[in-house]
Chains A and B, each alone.
Chain A
Amino acid sequence: MASTAIATPLAPTAYSGEQSGVWSWLTTVDHKRIGTLYLFTALFFFMWGGVEALIIRAQLGAPNQHLVSAEFYNQLFTMHGTTMIFLAIMPLSAAFFNYLIPLQIGARDVAFPRLNAFSYWVYLFGGIFITVPILFAVAPDGGWFGYAPLTTRAYSPGINIDFWVIGLQILGVSSLAAAFNFLTTIINLRAPGMSLMRMPMFTWMSFVVQFLLVLAFPVITIALVFLLFDRFFGTNFYNTVDAGADPLLWQHLFWIFGHPEVYILILPAFGLVSEVIPANSKKPLFGYPVMVYSGILIAVLGFGVWAHHMFAVGMGPIADTFFSLATMLIGIPTGVKIFNWIATMAQGHVRLNTPMLFAIALVALFTIGGISGVMHSSPPADLQQTDTYFIVAHFHYVLFGGSIMGIFAGIYHYFPKMTGRMLDEKLGKIHFWLYFVGMNITFFPMHFAGMLGMPRRIYTYDAGQGWESYNFYSSIGSYIIGVATLVFAWNFLKSRRSGAIAGPNPWGAATLEWTIPSPPPDYNFAKIPTVTSRYPLWEGKEADLESARFNAQEGKTAADFGIVMPYNTIKPMIVAFGLVLMFCGLLTSRVIIFLGAGIMIVSLFTWLLSPLEPEHH
């Protein structure tokens, strides 16, 4: 096997001297370090959102409980959704975009390294902005979907919704900046020979997701600007009393963003398992071109199905029919992906290590979410399902069973690349089985609760309604997930320091990121490889192996190869700080707005006037 021929693993080398310490993290423009920052921050928010979920489940574990008030419960479920979607799953995907895309396409960094840092800092500050209010019980309480007119000033006079409207705007800036960055990177920085149809599947799915982000986020931005104007300046887009306002405008705009958002959340996970399954079956991905096309098709169709979230609003039979059929169509490319993953494993040498277990769990559990998805693509049937716990069960099978399982497959698979050390397999398997069992105990009973009449988003329910046992199981299951997450956290922190040495390619995988040392040097590739095949380490072409051997050299610095590295800079962080401060001013005083804008403009100016890297000689 080609991969085993590569140099004996050395102990992971730390970043070079000037690249350590807090200051180096604040000023870094290295896509790998930014990816690491994304990973840590997003895992923190994942646990934060998890704690919110545990409080929710404690409240619902039995009927008529008073653990939290109605007001606080509404903040909890709003922030659980908002946190998991915008602060956990999307940035976890972004961690992989950052870390992997340049490595997979054979690039030294992303196209705009400083913009990349800016995206992270905006995400961090925006995340703090939207998270802190719950500590003071003034968190957003309009649901992650924020339906108008409930979220207008007339029905939500408090500061709560302001945090949500402004916070999502801030996070949108981060996502858009990052999306343009990755698009440019993938289009322009691919190594010679890396044609689009040679790109690893994760990069392909990421590529598709960046288009979704670029097309979907402007819609929510506009929807939020309207709401912001309604709330702060008395305009009348969604308010109800005056003629002309239409609350359904919000729903359409929100879901034109919101449905592609679902694919923004799931496609990166699809990409990750499309890396993990071939590596652990020792077989190329089955039907690579079809996997690419089905991903694109899912994304394109994803823009034409938004109103399936609105079958109960009374759009009329023609619209219902259209959106129903379009939604069913999406089932086809999704099904093809499932079958192709299974076919990849078939006749392979399937190795059931932790990443592979998580990847298989995605295939198994996403299938359940997909099937229940088809169930509510039928509008009449959806009239009994929408806004019940059946839907909660459905999208947790998609987002937990799909996105989270896929992301953890990715974490276990790529942790050795990021740190040079393996995660503990034993703890990993405990984590996996607790997740798998806990997840099903939590979310499967919700199907029953929903079909037996339990509405969503209720902070309490009466005894004797036939829901007690299902809710009790769900609550038990959620705490199993909670314990498992602690097992993972322990494994993650412990293995970073003392895990087994990984070497450049512990899984015997095929793509470019496995040709370089683990953790990769700051310059990634000593020599930009010339790619001649889709699986450079497997197809055994001499040119590919030659460049792999060269790039596997450990312990060298950029200077040894005469590689020019960009300067570290604090400016992106200050610009991000100014931006968020400016938004904070909307809630406090005009002085803060001008102060924030001033900081942003001045630091942006100096950023743009300072060179990215030393001059080339």
Chain B
Amino acid sequence: MKGLDRLRRLSPFVLTAALAIIIGACSGSHPNTTFTPHSDLGRDIDALWDRLLLLGTIVFVLVEAALIFVIIRYRHRDSNERPPQTHGSTKLEILWTLIPAVILVFIAIPTVRTIFKTQANAPHGSLNIEVIGHQWWWEFKYPEYGITTANEVYVPTGRTVNFTLHSADVIHSFWAPQLGGKRDVVTNRTNFLWYTPDSSMETSVWNGFCAEYCGTSHANMKFRVFTVKPDEFVRWAGWQKTQAAFGAKTATATTAASSTPEMMTAAATTTGGPYIFPKEKIPAYTVPATPPPRGLTFTAGLTGNAGRGQQIFSTGACIGCHVIAGNPSAMGVLGPNLTHIGSRTTIAAGRYPNAAAYLALWIKNARVMKPGVLMPTLGLDEYDPILKTKVTTASGGLTDQQIADVVAYLTALK
């Protein structure tokens, strides 16, 4: 029993240490926290949370204190006597039925008020954004502007944005924790979620997640919300409406490919001043840090030709699933719209940064890069983990050079 006593004496220290570690952890940066909301809905929820936390903490402290007091005060060792045999007390029991009831009233009233406030129809003049959940990526449409994009959604600060939620397949859930609560994206139904990003907010980027389990790559179904000033939004929208800068014209721009993707620079120049989100305002936590899968490599030192890339894209399997406005043969709607793919910061629904090296690996073997995806494995001699076959020339396999060409083309689509 000596060891046990020692354990008992040690346990407060262990618990204190554990608490210290947890508090220490709290001081780190928390880019997806729900505690610093940046919208009206987020603040309404946070106000409720603060009340729940306060009342919850009071109840917790009182109950645990009572429990600990009783254990210490009435602890008996080896007693053969029996204490007075009380069977209950109606007064006490009524008392502790009423106390929780009263506490719950203080929770219920603001709850019901907030339910009706936040679930009313979106105010007139809201920006409507259609959100379509796909296994495992997000499609965003702006009916007001005729824009379709994927995995990266731009919203102006200070204007109510009304997300209209649909699913193309199974149930998903649309959630950007820093901006507000989540809403499920339910098959065969239309759901709504609206809030107003704070007008005082700086131009920034926030992480978004799919919160409802939706299959193999549920973990890889992320998106980014770009909160921009209204004038920046107008510029962005106006430019997104146009065809891809590279478009249908035959370009001779080439990219210098190498094993380090950052050196691959898009040479295509764009016209009319596109709105490119300022790089310095992209926070580190929105830049994916997922390493590419081991064993998947790409030939170093290849130079892609965007014109050839366009040729390959337009005559290959790509057009079956992807739209590129301005490229008349690219009309497939199963996959993300790639019109301005070169201006996006991430690929594969937020799993990898949109850099040439990642794009090349993605085209080469998407199914290794992100489990379960519909995007086929295209690299010649690559093993397709879903079809369980090797890709051959006959099945449309692309050489690394061909992939580098396609990457050059896509990167040029600012």
CA separation between A374 and B108, bound complex, in Å?
10
Q: For A452, give its contact among B34, B56, B74, B100 (CB under 8 Å).
A: B34
- Which residues does chain B contribute within 8 Å of A451, judged by CB atoms? 33-35
- Which residues does chain A contribute within 8 Å of B71, judged by CB atoms? 345, 350, 352, 360
8 Å CB interface, B117-169 against A: 118-120, 135, 169
Within the complex, the shortest CB–CB distance from A349 to chain B, in Å, comes to 4
B169 touches A155 (CB 8 A): yes
B21 touches A473 (CB 8 A): yes
A192 beta carbon closer than 8 Å to chain B: no
B76 touches A433 (CB 8 A): no
Can you list, as one digit per residue, whether each of A540-570 has a CB less than 8 Å from chain B (1) or not (0)? Answer: 0000000000000000000000000000000
Within the complex, the shortest CB–CB distance from A155 to chain B, in Å, comes to 5
CA separation between A460 and B291, bound complex, in Å?
12
A466 touches B192 (CB 8 A): no
- Which residues does chain A contribute within 8 Å of B28, judged by CB atoms? 466, 469
CA separation between A582 and B332, bound complex, in Å?
46
8 Å CB interface, A433-457 against B: 433, 437, 440-441, 444-445, 448, 451-457
A375 beta carbon closer than 8 Å to chain B: yes
Closest 4 CB pairs of A and B: A383-B181, A453-B32, A458-B219, A287-B88
A454 touches B32 (CB 8 A): yes
Name the residue on B nearest A336 (C-beta). Answer: B97
- Which residues does chain B contribute within 8 Å of A469, judged by CB atoms? 21, 25, 28
A368 beta carbon closer than 8 Å to chain B: yes
CA separation between A420 and B133, bound complex, in Å?
60
Sample (18) of A-B pairs whose CB atoms are under 8 Å apart: A240-B187, A282-B83, A286-B87, A317-B119, A320-B115, A321-B112, A324-B108, A332-B104, A349-B76, A363-B67, A378-B48, A378-B114, A380-B114, A380-B115, A453-B177, A461-B219, A465-B32, A466-B285
B188 touches A246 (CB 8 A): yes
Q: For B107, give its contact among A156, A374, A452 (CB under 8 Å).
A: A374
Name the residue on B nearest A151 (C-beta). Answer: B170
CA separation between A445 and B19, bound complex, in Å?
10
B31 touches A444 (CB 8 A): no
A372 touches B56 (CB 8 A): yes
B30 touches A466 (CB 8 A): yes
Name the residue on A nearest B180 (C-beta). Answer: A383
Stretch from A48-56, A308-316, A513-521, A594-602 at the B interface: A308-316
Q: For A336, give its contact among B26, B32, B96 (CB under 8 Å).
A: B96
Within the complex, the shortest CB–CB distance from A487 to chain B, in Å, comes to 13
Within the complex, the shortest CB–CB distance from B105 to chain A, in Å, comes to 9
Chain A residues packing against B (C-beta within 8 Å): 1, 4, 63-64, 66, 69-71, 74, 141-143, 147, 149-150, 155-156, 240, 245-248, 281-284, 286-290, 312-314, 316-317, 320-321, 324-325, 328-329, 331-332, 335-336, 338-340, 342-343, 345-352, 360, 363-364, 367-368, 371-372, 374-375, 377-384, 386-388, 426, 429-430, 433, 437, 440-441, 444-445, 448, 451-466, 469-470, 473, 538
B214 beta carbon closer than 8 Å to chain A: yes
B218 touches A458 (CB 8 A): yes
Name the residue on B nearest A365 (C-beta). Answer: B64
A338 touches B63 (CB 8 A): yes
A380 touches B97 (CB 8 A): no
8 Å CB interface, B227-269 against A: none
Do A331 and B100 form a contact, CB below 8 Å, given A64-B289, A282-B82, A383-B183?
yes
B403 beta carbon closer than 8 Å to chain A: no
B83 touches A347 (CB 8 A): yes
- Which residues does chain B contribute within 8 Å of A345, judged by CB atoms? 70-71, 74
Name the residue on A nearest B213 (C-beta). Answer: A457
B284 touches A464 (CB 8 A): yes
B11 beta carbon closer than 8 Å to chain A: yes
B1 beta carbon closer than 8 Å to chain A: yes
- Which residues does chain B contribute within 8 Å of A312, judged by CB atoms? 173, 181-184, 211-212
Please, how many residues of chain B have a CB less than 8 angstroms from a CB on the other chain?
111
A149 touches B187 (CB 8 A): yes
B101 touches A324 (CB 8 A): no
B14 touches A69 (CB 8 A): no
Q: For B96, give its contact among A142, A339, A466 (CB under 8 Å).
A: A339
CA separation between A419 and B294, bound complex, in Å?
54
Q: For A248, give its contact among B18, B189, B371 (CB under 8 Å).
A: B189
B18 touches A440 (CB 8 A): yes
Within the complex, the shortest CB–CB distance from B293 to chain A, in Å, comes to 8
Within the complex, the shortest CB–CB distance from B120 to chain A, in Å, comes to 8
A453 touches B209 (CB 8 A): yes
Name the residue on A nearest B88 (C-beta). Answer: A287
- Which residues does chain A contribute within 8 Å of B188, judged by CB atoms? 240, 245-247
B49 touches A328 (CB 8 A): no
- Which residues does chain B contribute within 8 Å of A314, judged by CB atoms? 183-184, 186, 189, 191-192
Within the complex, the shortest CB–CB distance from A223 to chain B, in Å, comes to 16
B82 touches A378 (CB 8 A): no
- Which residues does chain A contribute within 8 Å of B74, judged by CB atoms? 281, 345-350
Can you list, as one digit per residue, whether each of B195-223 has a CB less than 8 Å from chain A (1) or not (0)? Answer: 00000000000010111111111111000
CA separation between A349 and B70, bound complex, in Å?
10
Within the complex, the shortest CB–CB distance from A153 to chain B, in Å, comes to 13
CA separation between A511 and B84, bound complex, in Å?
18
Within the complex, the shortest CB–CB distance from A494 to chain B, in Å, comes to 18
Name the residue on B nearest A294 (C-beta). Answer: B97
- Which residues does chain A contribute within 8 Å of B180, judged by CB atoms? 383
Using A283-B86, A314-B183 as known contacts, list a sample of 4 further A-B pairs with CB atoms less than 8 Å apart, ordered by residue number in A: A63-B289, A284-B85, A426-B1, A426-B3
Q: For A455, give its contact among B84, B169, B209 (CB under 8 Å).
A: B209
B104 touches A464 (CB 8 A): no
- Which residues does chain B contribute within 8 Å of A286, judged by CB atoms? 86-89
Q: For B214, give its contact among A150, A386, A473 (CB under 8 Å).
A: A150
Q: For A149, give its contact among B26, B170, B210 (CB under 8 Å).
A: B170
- Which residues does chain B contribute within 8 Å of A281, judged by CB atoms? 74, 83
Q: For A342, give its contact among B70, B182, B207, B216 (CB under 8 Å).
A: B70
Name the residue on A nearest B118 (C-beta). Answer: A380
A387 touches B211 (CB 8 A): yes
B48 touches A380 (CB 8 A): yes
B271 beta carbon closer than 8 Å to chain A: no
B317 beta carbon closer than 8 Å to chain A: no
Within the complex, the shortest CB–CB distance from A72 to chain B, in Å, comes to 10
B381 beta carbon closer than 8 Å to chain A: no
- Which residues does chain A contribute within 8 Å of B213, judged by CB atoms? 74, 142-143, 147, 150, 387, 456-457
A348 touches B83 (CB 8 A): yes
Q: For B45, give its contact among A282, A381, A426, A433 (CB under 8 Å).
A: A381
Can you list, as one digit per residue, whether each of B13-52 has a CB less than 8 Å from chain A (1) or not (0)? Answer: 0110010011001101111111100000000110011001
Name the residue on A nearest B105 (C-beta). Answer: A328
Name the residue on A nearest B135 (C-beta). Answer: A155
B59 beta carbon closer than 8 Å to chain A: yes
B387 beta carbon closer than 8 Å to chain A: no
A332 touches B177 (CB 8 A): no
Q: For A70, give its contact among B93, B212, B294, B372 (CB under 8 Å).
A: B372
CA separation between A245 and B86, bound complex, in Å?
58
8 Å CB interface, B60-99 against A: 60, 63-64, 66-67, 70-71, 73-77, 79-89, 92-93, 96-97, 99
Do A445 and B111 form a contact, CB below 8 Å, given A155-B170, A240-B187, A381-B49?
no
8 Å CB interface, B262-290 against A: 284-285, 288-290
A466 touches B32 (CB 8 A): yes
Q: For A340, give its contact among B18, B85, B93, B107 (CB under 8 Å).
A: B93
B7 beta carbon closer than 8 Å to chain A: yes
Name the residue on A nearest B167 (C-beta). Answer: A240
B391 beta carbon closer than 8 Å to chain A: no
B70 touches A346 (CB 8 A): yes
A316 touches B119 (CB 8 A): yes
- Which residues does chain A contribute within 8 Å of B66, judged by CB atoms? 342
CA separation between A338 and B108, bound complex, in Å?
22
A380 touches B111 (CB 8 A): yes
CA separation between A464 and B59, bound complex, in Å?
34
Q: For A64, give its contact among B80, B175, B291 (CB under 8 Å).
A: B291
Do A364 and B216 form a contact, CB below 8 Å, given A328-B108, A451-B35?
no
